[in-house]
Amino acid sequence: MWRPDPVEDQIAWRNGERSVARLVRRDPPAGVRPGTPPPVRADGTYLITGGLGGLGLKVARWLAGAGAGHLVLAGRQGLPERRDWPAAGKTPATAPPAALAQMAAIREIEALGAAVTVVAADVADAAAMAALFRRFGDGLPPLRGVVHAAVAMSALPVRDLSAAAVRAMLRAKVGGGWVLHTLTAGLDLDFFVLFSSTTALWGARDLAHYAAANQFLDALAHLRRAAGRGCRPNWATAARSSSEATRISSQVPQLTARAGRPAARRRWARASRN
């Protein structure tokens, strides 16, 4: 007979055996050394989608500190033209506070030695991204790495999910991921990183559409890794503050290694019933 378990909240019966959820540590693939930093080149360009977000800017800062020569930060909103930045700083009313903070962050990144180009582009817009990719090697240094961190974040119970909310989530992550996958076909990149989430592994309240989008990124990473390239970290909590983003950015060297480190996987472990 089935009785409630005061300890286990996820139980499965399969072929007469009781299983419970456990995380099992996995060894890295053969030839991959955890913690090995990727090559970061002064003569290359590194593209970060969602590059003006808190996490995108932290990744940009790390890449600049590691010696990246040129960074392209792509986002749907972009920023004012460079010639207007001094005026925006003197008269804050001409730019929203978020934009002023982004400008200040970019100046700090450039002080580390990297040139930064901000591009207003929707990563899921294939034509706009194709136009950007044509600039690599023609006006911009050749593309050497991609970090896909774009997201249109929202949180809603399944019963309240609208088609518009689902489309927005899938557009940024799924559509954007596939556009980048297509445009980088045949390119010799140092890394191709997709920012996924642990919600893809075990879900989260009010984030069913987010979990689905990240499941796609996981599958895309497996597709690329089968061809010998690409990885994806399954972040636990997205950076919503500078301290959280700083903690996450400290892990970037391991995440951008060519093969990447596989995320922890939930497995069902057999357990005898007490």
208-220 pLDDT per residue, tens: 999 999 999 999 9
- Whether residue 242 is predicted with pLDDT greater than 70 in this model: the reply is no
Question: Distance between CA 59 and CA 79 in Å, rounded?
Answer: 18
In a domain, residue 196? The reply is yes
Structural domains in the chain (count): 1
**What is the band of 3 on the pLDDT scale with cuts at 50, 70, 90?**
low
pLDDT number for residue 5: 66
Question: Distance between CA 54 and CA 238 in Å, rounded?
Answer: 10
**CA distances, 84 to each of 52, 88, 186 (Å):** 18, 6, 38
Percent of the chain past pLDDT 90, that is, above it, reads 50
- Whether residue 236 is predicted with pLDDT greater than 70 in this model: the reply is no
In a domain, residue 12? The reply is no
Identify whether the C-beta of residue 145 lies closer than 8 Å to the C-beta of residue 44: yes
Q: Where are the alpha helices (DSSP H) in the chain?
A: 54-65, 85-90, 97-111, 126-133, 163-170, 176-183, 199-202, 208-226, 242-249, 252-255
In a domain, residue 120? The reply is yes
In a domain, residue 225? The reply is yes
Question: Distance between CA 127 and CA 27 in Å, rounded?
Answer: 40
For 130, the domain range is 37-264
Model pTM score: 0.77
204 HSE (CA, 13 A, CB side): 20
CATH number at residue 59: 3.40.50.720
Question: Distance between CA 58 and CA 86 in Å, rounded?
Answer: 23
In a domain, residue 228? The reply is yes
Least confident of 28-32, 170-174, 219-223, 236-240: 236-240
In a domain, residue 269? The reply is no
Q: For 87-143, how does the pLDDT look when each residue is reduced to its tens digit (9 = 90+)?
A: 776 666 567 888 899 999 999 999 999 999 999 999 999 999 999 999 999 999 999
In a domain, residue 122? The reply is yes
**What is the band of 249 on the pLDDT scale with cuts at 50, 70, 90?**
very low
- Whether residue 269 is predicted with pLDDT greater than 70 in this model: the reply is no
In a domain, residue 32? The reply is no
pLDDT number for residue 87: 78
